[in-house]
Amino acid sequence: MRHFINLYDGLRAMEADPSTAGDPIKRMFICDGQHLTANLAIVGESGNALHTQPAHDELVVILEGEADFRVGDEVRRVGPGDLVFIPRNTLHGPILSEGARISTVSVYAPFFDRSRKNIEWDRDQQT
């Protein structure tokens, strides 16, 4: 495990984790601890990226780009430097205009076991 990570270097060299290859949000996991996990994410032209994590609280820090961001019934415009807290089991995600892209770092608690299904996508519930 690496102890020091430059987030912008990570974004430039990002390779999506295979466990997220089919997701609208591409993630690269950067650290796992006993009680938490962190990842870098890029969202661009994803359509419906709204989702819930039934077992995880999440902190999202916007690194690049701007978008509307939904948490539960609240929607706010976010940009670089904004922090968003998402309680477990709360519908959330970016709402991108056409051609928009945002990059984020997220911290999940508890540990995000990638061998399990941790995310429920809103788009899958609407079929």
The pLDDT tens digits for 67-124 are: 999 999 999 999 999 999 999 999 999 999 888 999 999 999 999 998 998 999 998 8
Residues contacting residue 88 through CB under 8 Å, at least 6 positions apart? 53, 54, 55, 56, 57
The verdict on residue 71 lying in a domain is yes
Mean pLDDT for the chain overall: 92
* Confidence class for position 27, pLDDT limits 50, 70, 90: very high
Q: Is residue 91 part of a domain?
A: yes
Residue 78 located in a structural domain = yes
Question: Considering the domain boundaries, does residue 1 fall inside one?
Answer: no
SS3 5: coil
Cα atoms in the 13 Å half-sphere on the side-chain side of 85: 1
The answer to whether position 2 is within a domain reads no
Is it the case that residue 9 has pLDDT exceeding 60? Answer: yes
Q: How far apart are CA 89 and CA 58, in angstroms?
A: 10
Which whole number is the average pLDDT over 17-39?
A: 91
Look at residue 2 in the predicted model and tell me its pLDDT. 78
Q: Tell whether 93 is covered by a domain.
A: yes
Domain that holds residue 24: 7-125
Residue 111 lies in a domain: yes
Q: Quote the number of domains for the chain.
A: 1
47, pLDDT greater than 80: no
- Give the SS3 label for residue 104: strand
Total-model pTM: 0.92
CATH of the domain at 40: 2.60.120.10
Which pLDDT band holds residue 42 (cuts at 50, 70, 90)?
Answer: very high
115 within domain boundaries: yes
- pLDDT recorded at residue 46: 66
